[in-house]
């Protein structure tokens, strides 16, 4: 699938959501099906997953620690405190330098929202946040593109055309 082909055809009108690394990688390759956000949203349906350009070493380290301590990914030097999927070998989190940033990396569907305090969000949900429940996640070939905070609209060439939704 190419970002300017089937992925954009799947997401019409084209809506995108920018997610910082390594969280975008975790959505695509580590089974992260909850995107924690401070706001609720009424948006449902397919969207392009945009990996934000920004990510500091400190942000990466905090995210890696969060994931590794929960046994959701493997990170050298961090021993998990718990394992969410007994018998499964979690994926190895790539170093920050190897993660794609500043472009489209996948497609997904937003299917539901878990409310703050709800314990049904699983190991990826931070209970103080809304958990945007994702499904139908698929990686696509990287396509460099600018992004915006929250949902935003893009044309079939992958260019930002404006804010799509306030959430």
Nearest to 155 by CA among 9, 4, 14: 14
pLDDT value at residue 116: 93
Of these ranges, 4-8, 26-30, 71-75, 143-147, the one predicted with the greatest mean pLDDT is 26-30
The CATH number assigned to the domain with range 6-143 reads: 2.30.130.30
- As a whole number, mean pLDDT of residues 34-43 equals 94
**Residue 28: which region, alpha, beta or left (left: phi > 0; alpha: psi -120 to 50)?**
alpha
Does the structure show a pLDDT above 50 at 17?
yes
pLDDT tens digits, 131-145: 999 999 999 999 998
pLDDT value at residue 85: 58
Mean pLDDT, the chain, whole residue set: 85
pLDDT band at 21 (very low <50, low <70, confident <90, very high): very high
pLDDT band at 166 (very low <50, low <70, confident <90, very high): very low
Nearest to 90 by CA among 77, 106, 108, 73: 73
Question: What pTM, to 2 d.p., does this model score?
Answer: 0.86
Domain limits, the chain: 6-143
Return phi, psi of residue 149, to 5°: -70, 145
∠ Cα 26 133 61 (to 5°): 30
- As a whole number, mean pLDDT of residues 58-64 equals 95
pLDDT value at residue 142: 93
Tokens found for residue 3: 């970002």
Whether the ω angle into residue 22 lies within 30 degrees of 0, i.e. cis, is yes
């Amino acid at each position: 699938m190419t970002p300017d082909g089937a992925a954009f055809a799947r997401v019409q009108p084209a809506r995108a959501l920018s997610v910082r690394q390594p969280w975008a990688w975790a959505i695509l390759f580590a089974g992260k099906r909850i995107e924690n956000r401070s706001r609720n949203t009424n948006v449902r349906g397919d969207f392009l997953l945009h990996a934000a350009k920004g990510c500091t070493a400190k942000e990466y380290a905090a995210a890696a620690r969060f994931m590794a301590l929960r046994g959701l990914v493997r990170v050298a030097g961090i021993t998990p405190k718990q394992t969410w999927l007994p018998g499964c070998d979690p994926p190895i989190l790539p170093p920050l330098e190897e993660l794609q940033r500043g472009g489209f990396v996948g497609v997904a569907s937003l299917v539901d929202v878990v409310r703050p305090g709800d314990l049904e969000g699983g190991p990826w949900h931070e209970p103080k946040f809304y958990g945007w429940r994702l499904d139908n996640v698929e990686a696509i070939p990287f396509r460099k593109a600018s992004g915006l905070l929250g949902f935003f609209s893009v044309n079939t060439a992958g260019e930002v055309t404006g804010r799509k939704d306030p959430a």
